[in-house]
Amino acid sequence: MAPFDYLGAIETLHELRKSGERKSGLVVSLGERLLRDYTGKLGDEVWPVYEQVFISALDQGNDALAKTCFEKLEKRFPGSPRVKILEGMKLEAEDKLDEALRLYDEILEKDDSNIAASKRRVAVFKAKGQDQQAMETLSKYLDDFYNDAEGWLELSDLYLKFHLYQQAAFCLEELILLQPQNHFYHLKFAEILYTSDTSDNITLALKEFCRVVELCEDHVRALYGIKLVNYYYFNYFNSVI
């Protein structure tokens, strides 16, 4: 068997932490080995790795691993709000959603600027299937923290679930204001406009698709979007004549 490449594993976990990708299987398989045999090599980075592996273990339903990670974190940081959030996530994974919600409310009562707790509340409403409530809570949260790109992205996804294209497009407009260089927001905005299907929106969608190609050459999805808009115009003019 090849020796375990622990430096590569540390690097991969770090990258995944930064990008926020949901690759729980990979994180658990690398993190389990890393935390078992190489805790000394991690130094101070061991705590974020414990947190990351804990969340991924919950995602995978690996309760034993989650428990060991949580115990380590709780012992090191007793009473920390960040660990409390993790405790709430554990309750969520055990399907004790009301208890989790109570815990988050408690954290928010003490410190109403706790961003993670506000976001987890939205996730609990989502898990309960109360999407309306989740949307209300999230928009209230975004009133206070309007520069949270992740929140706007989530809100647009929730709106799209209910085919509320106009509202979803508004969220994407906010995102474009926050990060005008990010081609993906332009792409999503264009696709929402194209889907909402009124001729004004189609013109704007074409503009946005072109903007994506400008920001990121050879973007196949955007090029295909331009093609679709062209079809739309072709049919539109044919029907007029």
Partner 1 sequence: MSTVKVGKSLGWIGFLLLFHSAYSTYEHLSYLKAVDKIPNYMPIEITVECLVSVSICTIGIILAAGPLKPILIKHELAKKTIDEIDTHPSFNTFNHRGRLMKCF
In the complex, the residues that contact partner 1 under the rule CB under 8 A are 19-22, 24-25, 55, 58-62, 89, 92-93, 95, 116, 119-120, 122-123, 126-127, 150-151, 153-154, 157, 181-184, 188, 215-217
Please identify, using beta-carbon distances, which residue of 31 and 151 lies nearer to partner 1: 151
Write down the least CB distance from residue 198 to partner 1, Å.
25
**Sequence-ordered list of residues with C-beta below 8 angstroms from that of 110, at least 6 positions apart, any chain:** 81
Instruction: Count other Cβ atoms within 10 Å, centred on residue 220.
Output: 8
Write down the least CB distance from residue 78 to partner 1, Å.
23
Write down the least CB distance from residue 17 to partner 1, Å.
9
Write down the least CB distance from residue 105 to partner 1, Å.
17
Rounded CA separation 17/6 (Å): 16
Residue 96 is classified by DSSP as: -
Write down the least CB distance from residue 94 to partner 1, Å.
9
Write down the least CB distance from residue 21 to partner 1, Å.
5
Torsion angle of alpha carbons 119, 122, 123, 127, nearest 10°? 170
C-alpha distances (whole Å) from 74 to each of 53, 83, 85 are: 14, 7, 11
Q: How far apart are the first and last CA of the chain?
A: 71
Query: In this structure, are residues 171 and 152 in contact, taking their beta carbons and an 8 Å threshold?
Result: yes
Query: In this structure, are residues 21 and 56 in contact, taking their beta carbons and an 8 Å threshold?
Result: no
Please identify, using beta-carbon distances, which residue of 84 and 188 lies nearer to partner 1: 188
Rounded CA separation 212/230 (Å): 16
Please identify, using beta-carbon distances, which residue of 98 and 150 lies nearer to partner 1: 150
C-alpha distances (whole Å) from 148 to each of 107, 138, 143, 181, 225 are: 20, 11, 10, 16, 28
Please identify, using beta-carbon distances, which residue of 41 and 128 lies nearer to partner 1: 128
Write down the least CB distance from residue 58 to partner 1, Å.
5
Please identify, using beta-carbon distances, which residue of 22 and 41 lies nearer to partner 1: 22
Please identify, using beta-carbon distances, which residue of 41 and 140 lies nearer to partner 1: 140
Residue 122 is classified by DSSP as: H
Please identify, using beta-carbon distances, which residue of 44 and 95 lies nearer to partner 1: 95
